[in-house]
Chains A and B, each alone.
Chain A
Amino acid sequence: MLKIDLDACIGCGVCEANCAFGAITMKDGHPEVNEKCTLCGTCVDNCEVGALSIEREAKAGQTDLASWSGVWVFAEFRRGRIAPVALELLGAGRGLADTRGVKLAAVLLGSELGGAAAELIAHGADTVFQVDDPALAHFTDDAYGNVLADLIRAHKPEIVLAGATAIGRSVIPRVATMMGAGLTADCTQLAIREEDGALLQTRPAFGGNIMATIVCPDTRPQMATVRPLVMKPLTRDAARRGEVVNVAAPPERLRSRVKVLDSVASEGEQANITESDVVVAAGRGMDGDKGMALVKELADALGGAVGASRAAVDSGWISYHHQVGQTGKTVAPKLYIACGISGAIQHVIGMQSAETIVAINKDPHAPIFDVATYGVVGDVFEILPKLTAKMKERKGA
């Protein structure tokens, strides 16, 4: 718990002002801490007189932490192909494994896996644990969870990474619960802490208004999910050598209480926002259907897709499939044009990997300009039609 040394405290209130969780209130000239405190330590760092300290209770955690070793990546496989995020995670996992001096393994579950294991090795895996069984043809959280947990119990990796996809976000929390392990969702950075080799998992918190770094000091494996397009894959190297371990799962572990009756691949509309070279995105500033039409026209003129901030989606101007950001899709196009988007970190996380970012906003202080390559302060309703006309003109010329 947070300890307050009342003799040392000078009642300056810096701790209250800097607490992102609203856990500290000043009363009678001294801070009082409430149940919102997460022991993040920000106040301790900020206290100039050293009046604050954190006392952690010893946890009844696992005792054999040192016997866990290796970095694992859950390699999602669906409709006959490896999810791109798995290769991205191998890229990130390779770095972590090298820092720790351990092996990098991929776990490949599915049916008719073909040459997928070789592909994972070419992208950085030292080992691939492969379970190829018709019972795994479709994703069910039961069977996938059981098989993955059994493998983890048998081989005891210290780190398990998975893509924050619909599948990853369904099965990984289940596995973490089975293992009694900590899990951090949607990490944007992963690193190894020098002192003790712990995995530092950084993710946005509070709708992306702040970043939080999280560790799991007392439990193994350390588990994290990462959104697609956040990490970079290694260059494919067919000469890389690795080991494929075929594992047969017992039938009772493959039995699922969930049956997939049909699996429908969707209309192209959903996909093209993550694959398009150009994304023109609309935010709250587009103010309804009329504004959305302007964005669409510019996107059409540039041959791009339409994206949107959470605010635009929540206002019902466009469907969720177009949402870019922490709770939407991550995109990394050649050109991203943010129109009337203020640039809350929740949105920026989803588009900051774009090569060129153009921001158009009437508020010169909008945070979107901080990530922009080119910023234009002005009225989107004036600028967009003119820009669209200009771009059409050039195309025609």
Chain B
Amino acid sequence: MARTTVTKGTANHTPMLKPKQRLGIRMMKQWDIQLMVIPALVLIFIFSYIPMYGVLIAFQDYKVGHNFFSNPWVGFKHFESFFHAPELYTVMRNTIVISLLKFAIGFPAPIVLALMLNEVRLMFFKRVVQTITYLPHFMSWVIIGGLVTTMLSVDIGSVNGVLVGLNLVEEPINFFSIPEYFWTILITTNVWKEIGFASIVYLAAIAGVDPHLYEAASMDGASRFKQIYLITLPTIMPVVIIFMILAIGSLLNAGFEDILILATNPGLRSVSDVIDTYVYRIGISNFRFSYATAVGLFKAVVSVIMLTIANAIARKSGNSLW
């Protein structure tokens, strides 16, 4: 995909040639502004386009000491071995379940938060809640992971402290050793980290609602809830739909950093292994470059297809990305 576009780009320079002067000479004459952009484009070429070209090793058998040109071509061998791999079922199931859960809970949560914040009339209270809930977004996953493991820790964790204190459990629970809890921990942590910051966009959209609409509605006797449902929500719908398309396009991004950080216990692999962490483990740790690239490419292709479908559906409703 990348390669064709690049060639197209260079080939299309030709029609820009005007008969009076050669392209090279005209570019030399504006060397000062060309010098502003060309170094940046070279960096983009090196760090974005060369890796795109490097995806071709998915169709080769990568050998140490060889380069992209001298590796033997093997066609779809690595894709086939992924489709027959014993991990295929676990990895695909985890990817789909985790990303669907993240979407189903993580997508509406900030909208609900924005709607709730909009009902708050005490400005001080509103600002305090916003300041606190935006904070985790700016923390690295390492810090978040440290906080979560501390809260859920067997010996010093406050969660176990409360559970034991209220006699809800007899023994403290070792949350990170029980696979059944992992998805809940992962999704809750994600929502907890991003809910505040993600609500900013929706709050801005809500701020654009015409106040007269609320006045008219309350004169007609509509309750606050009805006003949210009949005025606020329909007004912010276009924003919601655009963000929904973006979310659907990245549905196969079940997570990477968060899972690497939270699922350090290999005993959790049956519930924590997703495509991205699998590619990381196979590629970086086991050095199976060609196979890992093939798995990554498979994911990228499925993502593009899903984004296209989501956009086509959204176009029917009049809100599309392109």
A and B pair up: no
**A interface residue numbers (CB < 8 A to B):** none
